[in-house]
Structure formats: structure tokens, C-alpha cells
Amino acid sequence: MTTPAAQDRTSAPADAAPRRRRWRARARAEAVPQGDWPDLAARILSLRGITDAETAAAFLAPAGPAPDPYALPALHAAVERLLRAVATHETVAVYGDFDVDGVTSAAEIAQALAALGAAPVPYIPDRFSEGYGLNIPAIELLRRDGATLLVTADCGTSSVDEIARAREIGMDVIVLDHHTVPPVLPDANILVNPKLPGAAPGGLLELATAGLAFHLAAALHEAAGRPFDADAYLDIAALGTVCDMAPLAAENRRLLRTGLPALARTKRPGLRALMDVARVDARSITAEDLGYKLGPRLNAAGRIAHAKLALELLMTQDEERGRELALQLDALNRERQDRTQQAVNLAVRLVEERDGADQPPLIMVGHADFSSGVVGLIASKLVDLYGRPAVVYEIGAETSRASCRSIDEFHITDALRVRPELFERFGGHRAAAGFTARNDRIDDVRALLVEEAARALAGRDLAPVLEIDCNLPLRALRGEEIQWLARIGPFGVGNPAPTFLARNVTVVDARLVGNGEKHLKLRLRDGGLTWPAIAFGLGAFACEPGDRVDIVYCLNNDARPDAPLEIRVEDIRVAEPQPPA
């Protein structure tokens, strides 16, 4: 299955159902951490579950040293086996995946092995002809090419038959993966997955494979007695972590806080060129740039052409080739955006035709025109639009290939597991999954998933919600607070950018910007101060100078507190009447 894909903020469909979100205050924590920080920072921390001073201080402190990688299950065995392969000049195949986590982790492992003197053979399957994960023809091909050791990156945990075949034809297998562990494990020689039952990986539990590969690379160097240049791996470890939507807490937070500066000074010519074409300013790079700008371009390779282009972009040392690949991925990304937009429009039409205003607790739509390259992106958009889990599938000749995206309250992979016999294959995480099912089973799959969702989501209001951390009038925004808020970043999955409510703000001016006038550029005044603001996807809100509005907003500066501040308006309404003062 494919892991959650980074979404492109600018790909919101112009003519899809307008998004009406309910504004809701985030649930209050019991306690607020007391310490040497402003009340506002303390409140935001408490709303992220950090309620005592010690945890808060550790969270705010600069990123410390890397934790012990041997907390990961079987890492010793993996290091030992790989070093033996290096010593005896074995051919090592590194089998990745076509998403950013799979490509970055394969690149890290190949890079580490090459640094130690081996000649690894990276392999990325084709999304369309091979699909996700190991497949036997590819394994046999790698064996014929001389591989006697197979390392999987971001796949393998569910590949019982494929791994049995690899071993039968004379390969040892190391699985490096973080996908949810099925009841029957493959009989690999070495399984490195922090989610294995009995594993106690501490802060390493939620690592994406890019993070696992970082720790494997570090451990390999240390065991070989070779110096380890962490920066040369952290750049893409951070990229894979963010693009796989791994929660930005614990070791993932550390990888990102050390990885963003490493990315800013990366020596990879391809990545530098990609930042260029994506207009990412390396000096002020944020987690959002990774998720919304670099990630979609790298993913576009696998969605439209072949992900080996993305792997090559990460690995090439050649300036000119790096530039060429960056331009190519940028063009593929534009094509991906067009296709996604058309497909989302079609999906919304199908949803509305099928169920009208009365939507079931889980949305499921399929069409022969939905490319399996973008079904995950369509599903994510439907989750955004309807506030409930969504399954989107490509109808093929005999089988359908689906991508599922869920919301916090519903474990989608567990739901699939209730009736495994319905599927040819399936797998995934809590929030995202994929499956292949015969076309004559699709109605049963729909019945199963709607029933499971109805049970899990009973009594919940599924209208899309915009969570608000606290009231913060624009006139109360001060430099000190802004700097403290930046220290709570990087923001993303698991550590959302704080959102604030400001009432009765005056519109100084407003104009439509962006392709199709989708966005609104504003200047907003409260008291004596005027702030520049951008409202993505809110071009349909009509306002004029002098209008009074209520806004929910974020601050746009999680990397560089000295950068000019622009308020990002998440939602906007005509101001509610104010109570008399």
C-alpha cells in the first residue's frame, strides 16, 4: 500500500463542494507547564499534551544527541549481517518503495553501504505494473543479478510468500519497515520494525523508514569504526519523515530539528535544484516546505512516471543531471496536479450523485478513470471536504485498487482486517491503507467498511472541524510571543501549528491571487497595527476595505523568527456582533 502522500495546498478544486468548517476550541488540558516562558507558549504546550515543567523544558531545549539505535529490534543482527556482506563483497539489493519514505530510506541505505565500500543495487518497484511491496519476479531478477542479501526499505512486513521465495532461491532477507504488523510475520532472517510485538523502542516507536534507515546508517558506521557524517543522511531522513506524515514528536522531532538545517546546506545537487524550482528558500526551510513543496514533486515521479527518477535525483553527484531531474519532476508534478484536480472533481460528483446531502460515515467511490497513482490524493481531499474516512479505487478489468484515508477516531487497517478474505492484498497504518479486491467483492467491502465506520463513529458530528488553540487578538501579537511559538515547532502532523481566533478585525485591503483566483491576499488591522495576511483557498469569501471580519489564523514563521511575518488566515467570516464594552 502507499503511505499517506503529502498534499499540495494549491491543488484544492475550484468547483468542489465549498468547505464549511465548524470552529471549535481545542480540548483543554488539566495543567499548564509552569516555567520561564510566556503564558501563551505554556497554553499551547499544554494543548499538545505537555503539562509539566520538565517535559516542557526538554521539548523546548535544543535537539540533543541521537538516542541509542539498538533500542530497535534486531538492529545488532542487521548491522552484523550487513558488515559481513561488505567484507565479503556480496551483492546487496536494497528494495524500496515509490513514495518519498521508500525512496529516501533506500537512498540512505545504499549511500551507507557504498560509503563502507560495498556496491549496493537499489530497486524501486513500478507503481503501475508491480504495485506496492515485494514481488516475486523482481526478487528473482535481483537474485539473477547476483544479490545474495536483500534489504527491504519501507515494505516487507506483510510479504510472507515473497520473502519465503527469496530465501528459497538463496538470499538472506533483512526487513527494515514501520508498517503495522500483521498476525502472521514473514520468515525473514532479520526483522527491524519498531512496531513488532515485544519491541520496546521508546522514542523510536513512531519512526518512518527514513528515520530507521538513518539509525541503521549510523550504527553501521560506528560498528565499522568509521566516522559518520550525520548531516549527509539527516537531510533526506527529515524529508521522508515529514512526507510519510509521521508524528513530529520524540525522535521524529529531533530528526526534523537537526534535519532542517542539514537540508538547508545539503550537498545533493538534485535536492538543491529541486528547492530552486520549487521556490523553497533553503535558509528558512520549514516542515511545510517538505510536505507541500518537495514531497509532491518527489512523489510525482512514482505517480506519473517511475520513482527511480526521484531516487536518482537524491543520489546523483552530478550537478547537471541533478538540475535536469529537478525540472523533470517539476513538470511531472504539474501533470499530477492537473490529473488530481480533474479526478477530485469527478469524485465529488460521484459522491453527491450517490448519496446527496446524506453522506454515510465512510465515503467510498471508484471509477475506471481514477489512476491508481492518484487515488490516495483523491481520498485525502475527500476526507478534507467531508470530514470522514474516504476510500477511492481504480476499477480495473478484474480487480480494483484502492487507497484509504481516515480520521483520528477510526483505525482503517484494523477495519480491513475484520474480513481479510475479501481482499487479494491489503495493508497499512492507522490513518492510511491500501487494498486490492476483486470487482465482485467491492460491494461487500463497502458494506464492511461503512458498518465498521458507523460503529466507531457513532454519535460523532462529522462536519469538518477547525480546531482553535486560543483567542489571540491581532493587537496582542508581540515579538516575544512569536519567537516562543516558533520554538514549539517544527509544526506538522502530531504537532499542529497553533491556531488563534481574532475577532472584529478590519480589512484594510483584499485582492484575489493565484491560479484561478483561489486565494485571498489581505491586509488586516486591529488597533494601531496592520498585518499582511494570506488566505489559501478562501478566494470565494467576498470582502472589501472597511469590512469587519473574524478570523482563525496561524503565524507563518516556524523556521526563522527574523523573517517578515505574514499571518495565514485559515478561515474567515463576517464579524459576529460584539457585546457592548
Binding site for Mn ion (CB under 5 A): 3, 101, 154, 208-209, 244
DSSP assignment of 85-97 equals: HHHTT-EEEEE--
Residue nearest Mn ion (C-beta atom): 101
Query: Which residue number, 206 or 394, has a Cβ lying nearer to Mn ion?
Result: 206
Q: Please say which residue, 91 or 380, places its beta carbon nearer to Mn ion.
A: 380
Closer CB to Mn ion, 101 or 312, in the complex:
101
CB nearer to Mn ion: pick between 194 and 261: 194
DSSP state, residue 45: H
Give the up-direction half-sphere exposure of residue 317: CA atoms within 13 A in the CB hemisphere.
Answer: 2
Minimum distance between the CB of residue 520 and Mn ion, rounded to whole angstroms? 35
Number of neighbours of residue 62 by Cβ within 10 angstroms: 8
**Closest distance of CB 151 from Mn ion, Å:** 15
- Closest approach of Cβ 123 to Mn ion, in Å? 16
Q: Are 177 and 240 in contact (CB under 8 A)?
A: no
Query: Integer distance in angstroms from the first to the last C-alpha of the chain?
Result: 57
Give the sign of the dihedral formed by CA 455, CA 460, CA 463, CA 465: negative
Beta-strand ranges (E) seen in 276-413 are: 363-367, 390-395, 399-405
Q: How far is the CB of 428 from Mn ion (least distance, A)?
A: 10
Cβ at position 209, least distance to Mn ion in Å: 5
Shortest gap between Cβ of 133 and Mn ion (angstroms)?
12
Please, which residue, 238 or 505, has the CB nearer to Mn ion? 238
| Residue pair 300/336 in contact by the 8 Å Cβ criterion | yes
DSSP symbol at 294: I
The Cα angle at residue 84 between residues 140 and 113, in degrees rounded to 5:
75
Q: How far is the CB of 303 from Mn ion (least distance, A)?
A: 16
Closest alpha carbon to 404 in 439, 442, 444, 377: 377
Query: Following DSSP, what letter does each residue of 519-531 receive, concatenated?
Result: EEEEEEEETTEEE
d(CA 236, CA 255): 10
Residue nearer to Mn ion on the CB measure, 413 or 557: 413
What's the rounded Cα separation, in Å, for the pair 529 and 516?
A: 31
Smallest separation (angstroms) from Mn ion to the CB of 194:
12
Residue 85 vs 412, nearer CB to Mn ion: 412
CA atoms within 13 A on the CB side of 373: 24
Q: Taking the mean position of all CA atoms in its chain, how far away is CA 101?
A: 9
Closer to Mn ion by CB, 154 or 526: give it: 154
